[in-house]
Each structure stands twice: as structure tokens, then as C-alpha cells.
Structure 1
């Protein structure tokens, strides 16, 4: 998942920007990439994260007759997305907003996202979609209303070079997060993400599951728990555990390609990109002892879109995201999972994909099922974001 999360309290940003946005009334939208509100009823406009996209939308057009015009949120920042939707009238141009769960907690109850009509006949795959996806906190708001359709998801951990950390090369062994945080074998050879919303929860998870600290919910730290997490990371930083801190997906790939590091908490696609250069299996993405940063991306209908003439096609597009074709290409290109992974395997078989691709899809299905047995979920708008941010600055400054 691309996850360059803002290190500012998103709830407070939303409160401030809601008021500013009402006054600004679309003035800021001029700086956004243009998204055409086409009169063609078969054209769907989307706005959001790159990783929700197909690399080639013509695949969808060929199978459904629907076209996708997609504009990417600047910086893939949840704060930027919330500001854009509130202050810049994104819904005037975009039919669907794509983002990891969290924005709907603010934008749904405020009326910027429409409540999903689960009874629409176009949404034919909804009933067979598992509740672990369609009733997750990534799509259901704090008010209990269904705002989103799950698009894709994964359980993030860390990439590693098996020979460097002394584990089997096949990548099937569960590895403790201890290898990233406090193992002499990786000291000075570990890379760590700078963003607290990505790195603090996984640290808290390790401390909780290893018995090093009492933490109620790693995904929603109290101020006192945030201090414990940062105290630990500051100590590890001063001990020389981390060779570098990074910001972007591109940095993840570069660090792996150059072999500057042996282990890195990263997104799974970074390991796939690195293996294109280094060779298949050179870098592995970890199954872990303690658990994962589980996340899900969703598609949300903007309220304005419900008043346009293409609502039926919008729901057909949402149903497409639940189907085998979209799921197969997402799994093949990025290693992501999502709802109805079995349909992805069937799609590949029916369309005579190479045996190796079908095998990879089956492995992806097994991978997601294995990882999702461990109950850890990411939270992009934790209750005490202000306190976590303040503590995190200590770690960055240490």
C-alpha cells in the first residue's frame, strides 16, 4: 500500500478545513489535477491512491464497457485527501474516491460520502463478499453506516534478505519483529519508515506481543502508550539499530536494490520491484510471529455523484472491484489481496493465464488467509493522534 501518511492530527485538520472549505467553496480545486465530469454515462471518474488503480484500465473497459478517468491524490496523504474533498469540492468532478480506510470516518458522517445502497441490483457480488472485508472498519463508519466497497488490502510487515538474517530462503518461516528492532545481526543494517501512522503501530504490536510493554490496542495508542513506544525506538535509534529512516516507496526500492540494508518495514510491492532487478526470491516479505499492519483500501461514492446520470454505472464499477478480473490483476501486479480472491483464481483459469500466474494467485490467496488469522488492523485516524505526533517528533529528533 502506498502509505505516505501525514504526521498531523487528521481529525483536527478536518475540523479546521471543514470551516475553511465552506468559505473557500471550490477555490482550491483549481490546483488539483483535472478530473473530467464527462457527460458520457459510461465514463467513471475516480480520485485517490495510485495503488487502487489498474495499471491498464483498458482491461476494465473491454470487459464492462466502462471507462475510468483517474486522478491521483497529491502525496497520498490522508490529510490532503480530506482537505481536498472538504475544501475543493472533489465530488463535483469525481464519482468515486479511493483511499485506505479512515477518511470515511470523517467524510461519511459529514455528508461528503454517500451511504452505500447494498440493495442495488448492479451490486451482484455483494452478498457473496465476506464480512471480514465488507463489514470492516475500512468501509463502515463510526455511525454504523456502510460508506465504502472494499477494493484491495494486505497485511504489511517487513522485507528482508534471508541469507543476511539467517533464515530459510523460501520465505515461509514466521519471523519476529525483534529481527527489525533489536537484533545484533541487523544492527546498523535496518531501515525504518519515518511516518508514525505506519511505524508506531507495528512497534507497539511487537512490544505488546513480546511482553515488553502493556499496550491495550497497538492501532489506537493512549498518550502514555505512545510515550512507551517512542522511548523504545529512541533507545534503539541511539543503539545504532537503524541505518536510515525513509519516506517514500521509491526509497524503499532503492534501499533494497542497492543492498544497503538487510531488513526494512516496507510495502510488499517494494520487494517485488526489487526482485525484478535482484532476481526472484532475493528479497522476501515476512510472515511474522506477532502480527501485521493490516489495511484495506475502499471506494466511496461522492454525494454529488448520486445526483448524476451515471449512478447505475458507478455501482457496476463498484461491483467490478469485487470481481475476479480486477482482483487477479491487482494480485499479479502488486501482490495485494482483497474480497473474493477465489474469483481471481477462477478468472485466471478461465482466461488461460500461464500456469505460473495461476499458481501465484493461489499462493496469494493462501498468503492472505494465513496473515489475516492474526487480528491486527491499521488505524489512519487514531484517537490520540496529537499525542502520538508529539511523541514521534522525539524519535525523529533523537
Structure 2
């Protein structure tokens, strides 16, 4: 009797173990994805995520969004989550110092093994992958690539008898002729600093060249040098010659488009996303074009940056996360989602219809074939140094700095920052 009872108990235990095992096998895992993509873009991306779960019923993806909050608040939410042990499994990030916090803090998984396993180097834009490397390791996959340069009004170019400049001297001649005809060459919004930074970044690339520019960004050489002084001098020339719309330091970046739309300004310094902005603003996209900023260096580099998806280093679902990334960056998925779920792409061979978005199509060709880019300085420097960079930038406009004193001041700030690390 005792043996029979024991057998019954064992049978019950085995059945319970089997039931729990089956339940565990049937229950899908949940991957938490965090992005900044809200509104209609979220709806389109969520549809793709649901499709992925249909293909992979053992994986459920929950999409959490911090849309419209800006980089600062998004970073704060991520940092708080990881510090409290509740960070997402996969998350959107920018490049440079913004992503650097999570890499340096150990919250980002190195992805080299997945690049090798899935052959990501064969399908991703090379310079975009390079832009994500930190301390010799890559911790993300590029899901978007952007470039920034001069956009112009075609009607004003024709009216003034101007052509796209191929050299910096030709760019200055264009500015001089436009201003002589009562047209401001460039409209900028200096509020928040970053749009004006694009012009200064370009001038630094022009006077310093790629090699020195990169060394300056890595703080491997002094900013108090003739080439930086020359860039600051050219920036001051643009201001003093009224080549930039009046009062631009107090103008919000979006409002900088108003003089451009009104025909008072010839150009803006904007990104590869501009064509869809033009359409949303009710403008005729065929009346606008762009040219690559003429740096007088070969190859020509433009200001460019990538945005990425990263995998948490503490998630128990690294393999599942990598499999998801492999699917989401595939050409087929990227092409289907371009313009709806994705504003851009980091995948080679993905482009919009050239009949519908001719400038965006042209941009995709540029971004795919570029040898290299230079990063915007707000992705290069940590917050304290960036504050001093912007301080000099504004001071050159207001007269608080000369080109020479600005170079000396920023180099001193670099040395003090290094000493504090």
C-alpha cells in the first residue's frame, strides 16, 4: 500500500513538472523596446512589431515611447531605469557622448559576435557602423543615418543667376551676390545653439581638414591653433557681412525656416529629413534642393550621424534581442517601413520612390556612398565641454570673443575638463 501511495505521489509530481515545463515552453518572453518615436510613427512600428511576434510567437515585444521629450529627458529616463534595475532590453540611442554614458556604465552589450553571426557588416552603411564604435567596440546597429548641409530655394538660385558652389570661394561669392540683391544667404535659428553649430562645424572642417578636425574632436591636439582661429574668423565674417538673418541667436530652429519660405533667405543648414518637412509645411518640394558643403578637401565630408538600437547588457534575452535586430534591419523590413515606421535607415540598398521624394532619394545615395562624415559637436563633447563650445560660438556673434581669444578660452576649458576627469 505504501509503495502504491509513493507511486501515486511520484506520478503527480511528474505530471506537475511536465505541466510546468509545457507552460514555460508555451509562455512567450517579453522584450521591452524603448524609443523616442511617437504618434503615427509609433503606430506603424507597432504594426511591424506585431508582425514579428506572429512570425515568432515565443517573443512578445512591448514598445515603450518617450516621444517629444528631447534627448535630455529620454536619457534621464533610461539612466534611472538602468540604475534601478528596470532598463529596457533593447533601446534607441543617438551616437557619440549620448550613447557613451550607457557604454561606459556597462549597460550596453558589445555586439561584435552578432555582427559576425548575421553578417551585418555586409548590409549596414560602413561609416554609420564606424560612428557607433567607442573604445574599439561596437554596441549598436544603425537604424537611421542623417547628413546635414546647405538646402536652397531653386527659384531664388535661378533668379539670382547662381549655381551650386563647388569650392568654398564659390560659396562666399554666392553669399556676396545674394546679399547684394537684398537676399540673406542663410537663415539660422540660434536658440539652443545646435543649428548655428552646424555652420561652425562646417567651417572647422574647411579650415582644419579631416585629420586635424578629428584630432580636435578627440582632444588630442590644442584648439588654440591657427586653423581653429581661421574657422572662428570665417564664422565671424558670415555674421559681420550679414550673410545670416538678423537676430538669429534668439530664433528657434523651426522658425528659421520662415524667412526661407518667404523668399527672404536663400539657404538653410538642414538635414536629409528636410524634404518631408517641406511637404508637411505645405511647400513645393520641387522648389528646393541641396548641395554638399564645399570643404575643399578630398573626399568631401559632411556633418553626419547615425542613430542606433542597442541591447542591454543585463537582459537575460540577449539572443532573442539580437535575432529581433537582425529582422528589423533587414532590407525587406526597412524598405517596407521607410517613411512610416522609420524616418531613415542604416541599411544599404533602401531608398524611397525617386518620383515621390526625389531629394530624399538623392540623399540616400549620398549617405550610402560617403567614405566618411564628421560628427556634430553636440555628439562629440560631454555637456560641460559643449557648454563652453557654445559659449565661444555665441561670443563670436556678440563680440565677447575674438577668434583668437575664443580659441584660447576653449583650449583652457579643455585642459581644465581633462584635469577634472
How high is the TM-score relative to the length of structure 2? 0.64
Q: CA deviation at 1:337?
A: 5.3
1:195-228 CA-partner distances (Å, limit 9, x unpaired)? 555543643433553x599992067285326555
Counterpart for residue 311 of structure 2: 301
Distance apart, 1:247 and its partner CA: 6.5
- CA deviations 1:162-217 (Å, max 9, x no partner) are 22134999x995655635994341563521242555543643433553x5999920
| Matched position secondary structure for 1:284 | strand
Hey, what does 1:385 align to over in structure 2? 386
Maintained 8 Å contact 1:164/1:262? yes
Counterpart position of 2:224: 224
Structure 1 distance, partners of 2:230, 2:387, is 15
1:307-348 Cα deviation digits (max 9, x unpaired): 3xx544422332234212453256545996543332x36xx8
Q: Quote the residue 2:33 is aligned against.
A: 45
The CA RMSD over aligned residues, in Å, is 4.4
Matched residues in 2 for 1:327 and 1:167: separation?
A: 40
CA distance in 2, matches of 1:101, 1:180: 35
Larger mean Cα displacement after TM superposition, 314-323 or 221-230: 221-230
TM-score scaled by length of structure 1: 0.68
Describe the shift of the 1:57–1:217 C-alpha distance in structure 2 as closer, same or farther (beyond 3 A): same
1:57 aligns with 2:19: no
Q: What is aligned with 2:100?
A: 105
- Tell whether 2:202 aligns with 1:205: yes
2:278 pairs with one of 264, 274, 280: 274
The gaps in structure 2 that reach 5 residues or longer are 1-26, 54-59, 296-300, 400-421
Query: 1:242 aligns to what?
Result: 244
Query: Are the aligned partners of 1:74 and 1:80 in contact in 2 as well (CA < 8 Å)?
Result: no
From 107, 119, 140, the equivalent of 1:148 is: 140
- Tell me the equivalent position of 1:191: 187
Which aligned pairs between 1:278-357 and structure 2 lie closer than 5 A? 278-290=283-295, 291-304=301-314, 306-307=315-316, 310-328=317-335, 331-332=338-339, 338-342=345-349, 344=350, 356=355
Unpaired segments ≥5 residues, structure 1 = 1-38, 349-353
1:26 corresponds in structure 2 to none
Shift of 1:263: 0.7
- Is it true that 1:376 corresponds to 2:374 in the alignment? yes
CA contact (8 A) 1:253 1:274 kept: no
Indicate if the aligned counterparts of 2:37 and 2:67 stay in contact, CA closer than 8 A: yes
Structure 1 position 108, deviation (Å): 0.5
Counterpart of 1:129 in structure 2 is 123
Answer yes or no: is the 8 Å Cα contact 2:188–2:253 preserved in 1.
no
2:152 corresponds to 1:160 = yes
More helix by share: 2
* Equivalent position SS for 1:69: strand
Relative to structure 1, is the Cα distance of residues 302 and 252 closer, same or farther in structure 2, using a 3 angstrom cutoff?
Answer: farther
Seen in structure 2, the aligned counterparts of structure 1 residues 376 and 166 have a Cα distance that, compared at 3 Å, is: farther
Contact 2:92/2:310 (<8 A) preserved: yes
Structure 1 residues 81-104: Cα deviation after superposition (integer angstroms, max 9, x where no partner): 544433454761422332221123
| Alignment length (residue pairs) | 342
Cα distance in 1 for partners of 2:105, 2:347 equals: 30
Secondary structure at the residue paired with 1:104? helix
The verdict on how the C-alpha distance between 1:208 and 1:360 changes in structure 2, with shifts beyond 3 A counting, is closer
How far, CA to CA, are the matches of 1:242 and 1:88 in structure 2? 43
CA contact (8 A) 2:198 2:269 kept: no
What CA distance in whole angstroms lies between the structure 1 residues aligned with 2:130 and 2:144?
Answer: 12
Inter-partner Cα distance in structure 1 for 2:198 and 2:393: 12
Q: Secondary structure at the match of 1:108?
A: helix
| More displaced stretch, 104-113 vs 243-252 | 243-252
Q: 1:172 to 1:337 in 2, by over 3 A?
A: farther
Determine the C-alpha separation between the residues in 2 that align with 1:57 and 1:241.
42
